[in-house]
Structure 1
Amino acid sequence: MPASLTGHTRESLTTWLTERIALYLKRQPSEIDAAVPLAEYGLDSVAAFGLCGDIEEDFDFVLEPTAAWDYPTVHALADHLLAEFAAVDGGAS
């Protein structure tokens, strides 16, 4: 069952994203700096597509695969997700 979009923090999303990205890049989460552009770690379009699929599956939220380039760091992507989640939840009430 997908997680609710409410109740997430930058920290919780940063942790979730870091763990997923580390999995795709075959690294330890501790090796991923949330302020470093993901392209510098070698994140490619296949991994970005997979990450977006994970976001859709876990949060029931569709994110364009280009988001990894539009929001190129874990922090930027987490902030974008927070804003998008708030917009969706705000519109649902």
Structure 2
Amino acid sequence: MSETDLAAYRLTPDLVRSWLVERVADYLRCPAEEIDADAPLTEYGLDSVYAFALCGDIEETLGLTVEPTLLWEADSLAAVAAELVALAGK
């Protein structure tokens, strides 16, 4: 799903979760099928540089400003997706 496609839809947890999985898979250079949205983010070895980059992608694609700490506090991509949908609804 392209970033422009995502902006055209009402944000749902499933839609945002799929987008996040694709972003992480792209960063890790692996198939999206290898990313478990419910697994702790620490399992993927994502560093602070990537956290800042992903926050930039979130801001650019979803129009939401988030702190990189959200990625560590939310623990999993599914939890991050739920948090982003909640923020978008405010």
Q: TM-score range by the shorter chain?
A: 0.7 to 0.9
The structure with the largest alpha-carbon Rg is: 1
Give me the whole-angstrom Cα distance separating, in 2, the residues matched to 1:45 and 1:72: 14
Q: Which residue of 2 is the match for residue 63 of structure 1? A: 66
Q: What is the percentage of aligned positions where both structures have the same residue?
A: 45
Structure 1 segments, 4+ long, off by >2 Å, are: 1-4
Offset of residue 28 of structure 1: 1.2
CA distance in 1, matches of 2:40, 2:64: 23
Gaps of 5+ in 1: 88-93
Aligned residue pair count: 86
Instruction: Give the alignment's Cα RMSD to 1 decimal.
Output: 1.7
Aligned position for 1:48: 51
The TM-score normalised by the length of structure 1 is 0.84
Local SS of the residue matching 1:76: helix
> What is the match of residue 85 of structure 1?
88
Distance apart, 1:3 and its partner CA: 2.4
Deviations 1:21-54 (A, max 9, x none): 1111222110000110111111111111110000
TM-score of the aligned structures, taking structure 2 as reference length:
0.87
Mapped partners of 1:41, 1:27: distance in 2: 11
Query: Given the alignment, which residue of 9, 14, 17 partners 2:12?
Result: 9
